[in-house]
Chain A
Amino acid sequence: MAPPSGLHQSAIPTDFETLPLPLPLPLPGLIRSSTAPVTSNNSITSAAAAAASSRRPDPSSRLLVPGDALVSASASPPRRLGGGFESGGNGSGNESRPRRHRQHKDASRSRSRRRKRFQKLLWVKQSYPDNYTDQATFLENLQRNPRVQPYDFWPLIADSTVILQHVCSVIIFVVCFVGIFQERVSPVSVVGWGSFATFIGWLLWDWWVTQEESHRDSADGAISRVGSMRGPPAFRTRRHDTGGPGLPAALGVSTTSISSTSNFPSAASSTSNLLQPAAHLGQYGGSSTTSVGGLLSPGHAHSKSASSVHSAASQTSLTGSAAGVSRSGTGGGETTRGASRFRDDSPSRGGRVYLRVGTIKSAMLIYFTLLGLSPILKSLTRSTSSDSIWAISFWLLAINIFFFDYSGTWVGVHKVSVASLSTNAALMASTVLASRLPSTGQVFSLTLFSIEVFGLFPVFRRYARHRSWRYHVALTVLLVLGAGAGVGMILGDERGWPWKKGLLGMVVACLISAVAMGGCSWWLIGLQKYKNEIYGPWDPARPIIISRRHWDDE
């Protein structure tokens, strides 16, 4: 960063006294360094230096200019540092030495004392030249690192588990692909276990949401309707993509909203919430299948704009729809909020059960769409060489990891912010990887599994973390062990006993993750000493506006 290096070289008195620079500080004439209070590196103001200099023993001394920080004899006249820092920091040390010998010659020439004090004002006619630099007031308002919060080791470790979780889940996905590709693992078992885990996760989610809703009910008397529309909307998305690729999304949106309005006027009236990915996916369905659209319309109406944005964002139909699936999955309970919002208008239409049925329908829809798509996917990249596919999928997965939303800011069950670039990249990677697989069943399994891993699982992880720290830790440990075991088994040869390799992998994974987390955290903390933020009166002020808070609340 430019300012720190500039600070070291420029003539700021504080630098020379407090920073451990290779400057000739232990010179005999250094009075200031002995009188100046030893302040910490943070939040030094040069006012401290000025105070120190004003306590200097020589009564005839005038105020110092910053250049005196290097020389600092009692009666050193104003002098310039020009050469010292202009020629680089390394030159300043050498050049300051010969100056010391001249101080005695100039000692008699002290500035006239009759002068008025220098004022930092422009409208006064001052008896000082324009380039006079007043020691007492120059840079007195400089603040360094005023708002820096030091990191603590263990909280940093705890926060880094989120990254670890995601990396591990990506590794698990890759391991599964390699397993399927090398025909070590049957694709059916992968997708079977994956779906089973997803189902368990959904049940857990449902239960948690129910709990939360009941809590809230007791608070504000809201009737909760848990709807996890995971399956159906995404399925419909796909159908929309495959059936009518040219059909503009907006059309679908509009028709849906109309239909939903006719079915459930209440739903249309509650269209304020735009961040409802699960809901808006239903709108595609509404355009193609009215029956489902009718059923699920409570969720439809909220997010016209969100859906259009989404459709614009999904450029590849495959990845786009897949991302849609993930969003719908993330939705899980999103409709709940919608439901609870318009519950006043539309009294219970089956409530949670109704939404559960919707979810199951969506799941079925996804399932069958993927089944139908798999033969197409299988031959998608036949003309591309495998090397390119590995490279592409590597970069896409890297994009997924780097652009994933690790923030974990919990905005509620119903608003799940999904990093769309990350999810899209992951699903694209899974698509191109799946296209390497020889049989339709494998392609289907891998794609479905990728939707579960990259679409639904992050949302579940986030919710689990929100629910309880214990769940989060347990999940992390499970993921690390799983990833380690998977990698161990993949790397081991096929003939050997895989579990031994797996165990070895687990141990290694635990070691690596512990070292990586600890090392990176320690490194980050170590890097904090280079932090040098400079604040002063030149920075734009941050206005404090009270009424804005009221606007935001609305």
Chain B
Amino acid sequence: MAPTYNIAMVSDFFFPQPGGIESHIYQLSTKLRDRGHKVIVVTHAYEGRTGVRYLTNGIKVYHVPFLVIYRSASFPTVFSFFPVFRNIMLRERIDIVHGHASLSSLCHEAIFHARTMGLRTVYTDHSLFGFADAASIMANKLLKFSLSDVDHVICVSHTCKENTVLRASLDPLMVSVIPNAVVAENFKPLHSRPEVSANSFGHNPPPVRQLGPHDTITIVVISRLFYNKGTDLLTAAIPRIIQNHPNTRFIIAGSGPKAIDLEQMIEQNVLQDRVEMLGPVRHEEVRDVMVRGHIYLHPSLTEAFGTVIVEAASCGLYVVCTQVGGIPEVLPSHMTVFAKPEEDDLVAATGKAIAALRANKVRTELFHEQVKTMYSWTNVAMRTERVYNGISGAISEAEFYGYDAANAASWSATRGRSGVQSFALIDRLKRYYGCGIWAGKLFCICVIVDYLLFVFLELWFPREKIDICPDWPRKTINEQKETVKDARSRW
């Protein structure tokens, strides 16, 4: 019988705000619930969304009142979150605190306090940061603070892992790469064959849509129109692509400060009939926009994972994307054409994609099924569960980290990430002290203050006085056999 955990997902970013991290947390929580765990989500209060809420599948959401400063990131107060956090953790009998997103101060504080309370912590990083500018240096220092004592880190791509390891000076073995996933059912191509016929009849059905040499090819772009999404590249490339390929048109969805540049470009080149700008679209409508096109163009300049290109491929679009960040890891080469982040190369890559589509070389109608087997939230939840097992000692350290780690408890007082990750204050102080000459001492002071606060809270609000809230009925894992088999097949 696999152990089940009480898991608290903590992040500033959650519904009702739309976004990638938000849906990641929700999907992961749902699938973890399906696997028999108890999941609660702690986020800050949004307008019109306060108190405790239940979502589908029995996910409980705590909206903690907190001051929001910028783009729904809460104001970083190191200690003020502790009382209510402790209350929630005790009330829900949480074992594992799982924080999301590096810009969420709520997440970092939760990890910090959870370690003080003696809980296991996991952190998921969704973004990439540079090292050059002052803001990044500051953010990296804070990340180092928060991750000095974390049990395990999950990154969404290998590039993201390298980045996080460098930023927070982590041991690479305590960083797992678990990609995002897509709900493939929500991103079906337009002419998707019925499932039954695909299974029972011919394995090699004829391509659904044959593109003639003069059919119009529609190129879809869905992104927020910001600088780092590569809108400048797009603005420069569109006129040239249209000039080179007469029977093409563009559909651009999304809004942002660079939208005006695109509009200017359209007017300057008189492309109103070739480029359609839809403005902002809701996430549910993304699929409806995508299926109108043949090619998805993704000119982003930095991207940790790029869920949207997976969604596009799932909709049966041929993907043209810049080779930045984690994007090259995401899709197999037969679904994508990569370009350097240069105008010329982007135009050339798009030309190549158009030519390949016109020659009917690309079996885009197969993409959906392929993507479905590549990415699923069930798989993500399973792999995340392995991380939980590893840090809470359910699977042995040797298995989790590698062979040598089994007898490693002897060689370091502070290590022992998994079963023996020490909660002793002095060991935690040792970990924080190594963060830097000045920062290390500052962090140690923070840890001590936090510990004193914890002692005070234990005295003032004793654990016995905090009600234990009844659990939502848990699901039992009925597909356990299948799970085990699947897990075996993976490693």
Contact = CB atoms under 8 A, between A and B. Distances in A.
Interface of A: 1-3, 5-7, 9-12, 65-67, 76-89, 91, 95, 98-99, 102, 106, 109, 120-123, 125-131, 133, 137-139, 141-142, 533-534, 536-548
Given A79-B408, A83-B414, A543-B232, A129 B491 contact: yes
Nearest to B489: A125
B245 interface: no
B403 A78 contact: yes
A550 to B, nearest CB: 10
Interface stretch (B172-180, B192-200, B213-221, B468-476): B172-180
A65 B179 contact: no
A542 B341 contact: yes
Interface string B323-357: 01110011110000000111110000000000000
B387 interface: yes
Contact of B408 (A9, A80, A130): A80
6 contacts: A78-B404, A79-B404, A85-B169, A98-B411, A130-B383, A131-B152
Given A9-B434, A142-B162, A537-B162, 6 more contacts: A83-B415, A86-B415, A106-B404, A533-B132, A543-B230, A547-B236
B415 A80 contact: yes
Interface stretch (B8-16, B100-108, B153-161, B459-467): B153-161
A131 B173 contact: yes
Contacts of B247: none
A135 to B, nearest CB: 10
Contacts of B166: 3, 6-7, 10, 12, 139, 142, 534, 536
A9 B232 contact: no
B165 interface: yes
Nearest to B379: A125
B315 to A, nearest CB: 16
Interface in B437-491: 440, 489-491
Interface in B384-423: 386-387, 400-405, 407-408, 410-415, 417
A79 B402 contact: yes
B24 interface: no
Contact of A541 (B165, B171, B324, B489): B324
Interface stretch (B33-41, B60-68, B78-86, B140-148): B140-148
A79 B405 contact: yes
A541 B491 contact: no
B436 interface: yes
B325 A537 contact: yes
B173 A80 contact: yes
Interface stretch (B123-131, B248-256, B284-292): B123-131
B171 A82 contact: yes
Interface SS majority for chain A: loop
B168 interface: yes
B412 A82 contact: yes
Contacts of A12: 166
A538 B159 CA distance: 6
A542 B232 CA distance: 11
B121 interface: no
B30 interface: no
B163 interface: yes
Contacts of A546: 236, 343-344
A538 B302 CA distance: 7
Contact of B434 (A3, A65, A87): A87
B456 to A, nearest CB: 28
B430 A86 contact: yes
A114 B436 CA distance: 43
Nearest to B305: A122
A123 B331 contact: yes
A537 B415 CA distance: 30
Given A3-B131, A78-B402, A545-B233, A131 B412 contact: no
A545 B61 CA distance: 46
B329 A121 contact: yes
A2 B408 contact: no
A537 B374 contact: no
A85 B434 contact: yes
A490 to B, nearest CB: 42
Given A6-B168, A10-B169, A130 B343 contact: no
Given A133-B172, A543-B341, A544-B341, A80 B236 contact: no
B170 interface: yes
Interface of B: 128-132, 137, 140-141, 144, 148, 152, 154, 157-160, 162-163, 165-179, 228, 230, 232-233, 236, 301-302, 304-305, 322, 324-326, 329-332, 340-344, 374-375, 383, 386-387, 400-405, 407-408, 410-415, 417, 430-431, 433-434, 436, 440, 489-491
For the complex of A and B, 5 pairs with smallest distance between CB atoms: A83-B412, A88-B434, A83-B415, A78-B402, A130-B176
Contacts of B415: 80, 82-83, 86
A317 B293 CA distance: 62
Given A65-B402, A548-B236, A78 B173 contact: yes
Given A85-B169, A537-B325, A538-B325, A131 B332 contact: no
Contacts of A88: 430, 433-434, 440
Contacts of A89: 434
Nearest to B164: A538
Contacts of B169: 5-7, 9-10, 85
Contact of A131 (B130, B141, B375, B401): B401
Nearest to A123: B374
B163 A538 contact: yes
Nearest to B152: A131
A102 B434 contact: no
A131 B343 CA distance: 37
Q: Kindly name the residue among B162, B177, B304, B341 whose own CB sees the greatest number of chain A CB atoms within 10 A.
A: B162
Contact of B411 (A9, A99, A545): A99
Q: Kindly name the residue among B131, B167, B172, B490 whose own CB sees the greatest number of chain A CB atoms within 10 A.
A: B172
Nearest to A86: B431
Contacts of B375: 123
B171 A67 contact: yes
A539 B302 contact: yes
Q: Kindly name the residue among B304, B414, B440 whose own CB sees the greatest number of chain A CB atoms within 10 A.
A: B414
A86 B414 contact: yes
A514 to B, nearest CB: 34
A223 B233 CA distance: 42
A502 to B, nearest CB: 46
Contacts of A65: 172-173, 402
A125 B383 CA distance: 12
Contact of A77 (B141, B403, B430, B434): B403
Contacts of B408: 79-80
A545 to B, nearest CB: 4
A80 B171 contact: yes
Contacts of A11: 165, 171-172
Contacts of B325: 537-538
B233 A543 contact: yes
Contacts of B491: 126-129
A10 B147 CA distance: 13
Contacts of B326: 122, 537
Nearest to A101: B411
Nearest to A83: B412
A120 B158 contact: yes
Contacts of A85: 169, 171, 434
A358 to B, nearest CB: 41
A120 B171 contact: no
Contact of A540 (B301, B329, B440): B301
A109 B434 contact: no
A78 B148 CA distance: 22
A130 B177 contact: yes
B436 A541 contact: no
B329 A102 contact: no
Contacts of B132: 533, 539
Contact of B129 (A80, A125, A142, A538): A538
Nearest to B390: A131
Contacts of B401: 78, 80, 131
